Amino acid sequence: MAGNTTGIILQLTSFGESHGPMIGGVLDGFPSGFMLDINQVQEKLNKRAPGNQPFSSPRKEPDLIEIVSGVFNQQTTGAPIAFFIRNIAPQSADYDHLKDVYRPSHAGFAYQKKYGCQDYRGGGRSSARETSVRVAAGAMCEQLLARYNISIKGYVSQIGTVTVPSSYRELDMNKTDQSTVRCPDPVAEASMLALLKQVKADGDSTGGIVTCVIRGVPAGLGEPVFNKLQADLGAAMLSINAVKGFDYGEGFAAAAMTGSRHNDAYTFINQDIHPETNHAGGILGGISTGEDIFFRVAFKPVPSISKIQHTVDKSGHKIELNIGGHHDVCFVPRAVPVVEAMAALVISDHMLLAGLIRNNQIKPL
């Protein structure tokens, strides 16, 4: 099975299945000489973990990270950072009745066609459980980027039909983690909670959008033409489970705009040249401009629902399906740290590509 490694200089390889003994990763290319705060990594994992929100999967997993190489006396050595997270409460028996059934909108059918088998226990490799590996690696990168005054902040800007009307510039994103659904707009949050309550009562699920803002990125990141910064960010986001779309800057809205409205005119601000607006989203020609990079990631509804669904088994027999098991009503609030982590991996990789981060030359605090 190929396709389990991402990155050019800084590479993350993930392994493991949802209901196996563990999941884990190897982060190779991380600079040496960096004091890593494992507690901060764990805090990020806790934000993604199931069972901590009223509309998330009730599966209780502590998601405790165990680092087995690449860190000595809390300092990175330059060797591959290998780590794993044990699966404590998979309850695989909940899925026994699904071993011969194709669940609507799950990856099982595609896996069966490609590999000749599927892990029906919670989706196996295609489960969102795998994203905890990304969060752990990304949390390490976020600490590294903070040394260079680069911050990455994500928040829920839409759940179902409820959207946040304000742009990120008008929001206090520090309030995101105070929100049950990780939405910094209290009015929108209340509507989202009401919607999720109704969706749960209906035995259904819903999707949404995570908006992410990266501040402090220097101008010049990105490797045209095939490793443009937005292309690598897009590939990273589209690799996340259940993601259906990615756009940056004005994104798809730009298609309805005129050039005179969309163009970012330049001016002289604070002894330097800057665009007056940032419709481009901080990237031009695949290269960062030094302005805020902002993008959106759209997630589909969770396919495992309590409603009766019609499908077939491997023999083609019609089935009325009642899935059961552990499932989110909406995964989007738990996806925020996943989006942040993948952004951190991409930006860190491009900082290394540009030679702005080197071994034993970590910028001091």
Please give the helix or strand (H or E) that residue 191 lies within, else none: helix 186-201
Give the torsion sign (CA, 53, 57, 61, 66): negative
Q: Is residue 227 part of a domain?
A: yes
Q: CATH number of the domain that 127 lies in?
A: 3.60.150.10
* 34 and 144 Cβ atoms separated by less than 8 Å: yes
Q: Is residue 114 part of a domain?
A: yes
Please give the helix or strand (H or E) that residue 187 lies within, else none: helix 186-201
What DSSP line would sit under 64-103, residue for residue? -EEEEESEETTEE-SS-EEEEEE-----GGGGGGGTTB--
Task: Give which of 90, 89, 39 is closest to 65, Cα–Cα.
Answer: 39
- The label of the residue with tokens 């520090």 reads 174
Q: For position 197, what pLDDT does the model report?
A: 96
Q: For position 221, what pLDDT does the model report?
A: 98
Domain that holds residue 20: 5-353
Q: For position 317, what pLDDT does the model report?
A: 93
Q: Is residue 358 part of a domain?
A: no
- The label of the residue with tokens 């705009």 reads 257
Q: Is residue 365 part of a domain?
A: no
CB neighbour burial string for 131-153, b if at least 16 within 10 angstroms, e if fewer: bbbbbbbbbbbbbbbbebebebb
Neighbours of 87 (CB within 10 A): 21
Q: For position 50, what pLDDT does the model report?
A: 74
Q: How many domains does the chain have?
A: 1
Q: For position 363, what pLDDT does the model report?
A: 76
Q: Residue 264 has which token pair?
A: 């970012």
* 264 and 273 Cβ atoms separated by less than 8 Å: no
Q: Is residue 123 part of a domain?
A: yes
Q: For position 52, what pLDDT does the model report?
A: 66
Torsion of CA 5, 7, 11, 14, to 10 degrees: -30
Q: Rounded to whole angstroms, how far apart are CA atoms 275 and 163?
A: 28
pLDDT in tens, the chain (365 residues): 689 999 999 999 999 998 889 999 999 999 999 999 999 999 999 999 876 667 666 667 889 999 999 999 999 999 999 999 999 876 666 676 778 888 888 888 888 888 888 887 777 788 889 999 999 999 999 999 999 999 999 999 999 999 999 999 999 999 999 999 999 999 999 999 999 999 999 999 999 999 999 999 999 999 999 999 999 999 999 999 999 999 999 999 999 999 999 999 999 988 999 999 999 999 999 999 999 999 999 999 999 898 999 999 998 999 999 876 567 899 999 999 999 999 999 999 999 999 999 877 777 65
Q: Rounded to whole angstroms, how far apart are CA atoms 39 and 42?
A: 5
Q: For position 195, what pLDDT does the model report?
A: 97
Neighbours of 284 (CB within 10 A): 18
DSSP letter for 176, please: G
Q: What is the pTM for the complete model shown?
A: 0.95
Write down how long the chain is.
Answer: 365
Q: Is residue 363 part of a domain?
A: no
Q: Is residue 359 part of a domain?
A: no
Q: What is the edge-to-edge ordering of all strands in the sheet holding 293-299?
A: 162-163, 151-159, 208-215, 293-299, 243-248
Q: Where are the alpha helices (DSSP H) in 239-331?
A: 259-262
Q: Is residue 362 part of a domain?
A: no
